[in-house]
Amino acid sequence: MNTPILRVTGNELAPQGSPLEALVAFYRAFNTGNLDALAANWAPGERPSMDNPIGGIRRGWPAIRAGYQALFEGPARVQVAFHDFTSDGGDDWHLFVGREEGTCALPDRTIPLRIRTTRWFAKIDGEWRQLHHHGSIEEPALLAEYQTAIFGAPLEAPMA
């Protein structure tokens, strides 16, 4: 009997070659700060896009990579798990919609994170690659605290 995966941290075993395996690989790469593994997970070139409270709107893998690199090289250590999600797809696309929870650990404090998250994967050259990510924080005070931890102050205007 297969036990369904209800929470994705990056340590789960998923069917080989499946969209779920690609999702697990993303969280493994993110939670370990592995830029090479993230590059293997995301679609290459200018096709992918990302929109979240820390990365802003980024288009193309080079811009997305730069956002991850800045986060990984900063003072915060962010760890998240994906849960409470739905999963739907076809032969060449797959959409995961759910929530992330985790922590943003700083030298002087730890901030709990609660993020609504969507991840869209497409089959490109026979491999599942992430094509889009959207994340949002519903709680204004938590959003301001997270942005202050990463940027030094809450953002006053959307990032370009």
Enclosing domain of residue 123: 7-151
pLDDT tens for each residue of 27-53: 999 999 999 999 999 999 999 999 998
Q: What is the mean pLDDT of the chain?
A: 93
H, E, C per residue of 68-118: HHHHHHCCCEEEEEEEEEEEEECCCEEEEEEEEEEEEECCCCEEEEEEEEE
In 10 A of CB 80, how many CB atoms?
A: 22
The answer to whether residue 22 sits within a structural domain is: yes
Percent of the chain with pLDDT over 70: 96
Is the residue at 122 inside a domain?
yes
Instruction: Look at residue 54 in the predicted model and tell me its pLDDT.
Output: 86
CATH number reported for the structural domain that contains residue 138 in this entry? 3.10.450.50
Give the CA count within 13 Å in the CB-facing half-sphere of 138.
Answer: 7
Q: Give the chain's domain count.
A: 1
Residue 157 lies in a domain: no
Q: How far is Cα 50 from Cα 66, in angstroms, rounded to an integer?
A: 12
Per the domain annotation, does 133 fall within a domain?
yes
Give the global pTM: 0.93
Model pLDDT, residue 1: 39
What would the mean pLDDT of 113-129 be, rounded to a whole number? Answer: 97
Q: Which residue has the higher pLDDT, 155 or 57?
A: 57
Does 16 map to a domain?
yes
